[in-house]
Amino acid sequence: MGDKILMLGLLIVAGGLVSVGFGYAAHRRDLALQNWPTVPGTIVSCKIVQATEGRLRAPAHSAAPRPEADYQFSQVWTLEVEYRYTVQGVARTGHRATSGHWVEPVLPGNPEPGPRLQGLRAQWVEGAAVAVHYDPAQPAESYLAHVESPGKDSLFRTGLGLVITGLIVVLGGQWVFRHGAAH
């Protein structure tokens, strides 16, 4: 019994470490994007549009695998932007508003985008000067506003919780095995 509890605890710890690792990778990506150099740019156009976002849905468990992928589609608000900038004498056109995938859900009963999207739209009017972040290794890759990876904090919290839980299971199981066997 003690070996099974030990294995369970170690599996929980391993899962937690994997989650922390993914969170750390997202954090490193955010830091890299945040540190891209900037050049002056000009907004050509910017508008808020509705789009359809598809997400792959997978069941938590299934007796038989599904023959086809199952997608959940939802309506979202997003920014459609075009801007011009120059890096090393080469004029470029960019279309990426933010450093990460950032959309807002279209809420029933409230057919307006949120204040953050509306605020960015108000700043990025045609002809406005903007700072364009670009990848020094691939200057055609660019964005206007940095946003943190949305799931990064959840990955860290979940991973830390799993590591602590796993350690409690391992140490508690060992304590029960040692002290329970003595009586």
Residue with tokens 């999207």, as numbered in its chain = 117
Residue 182 has pLDDT above 60, yes or no: no
Q: Which of 79, 81, 84 is nearest to 41 (CA)?
A: 84
Residue 34 has pLDDT above 80, yes or no: yes
- Chain centroid to Cα 113, Å, comes to 20
Burial class (CB in 10 A: 0-12, 13-18, 19+), 143: buried
Tokens of residue 10, six digits: 């170690």
Distance CA(32)–CA(149), nearest Å, equals 12
Identity of the residue numbered 91: A
Query: Do 26 and 151 contact (CB within 8 A), yes or no?
Result: yes
Q: What is the pTM of this model?
A: 0.67
E-strand spans in the chain? 38-57, 70-87, 90-94, 104-105, 129-134, 142-143
Burial class (CB in 10 A: 0-12, 13-18, 19+), 52: exposed
Q: Which of 134, 132, 108 is nearest to 36 (CA)?
A: 134
Look at residue 60 in the predicted model and tell me its pLDDT.
Answer: 54
Banded model confidence at residue 96, pLDDT cuts 50, 70, 90 = very high
**Mean of the pLDDT values across residues 3-8?**
83
101-158 per-position pLDDT tens digit: 778 888 887 778 888 889 889 999 999 999 999 999 999 999 998 887 667 788 878 9
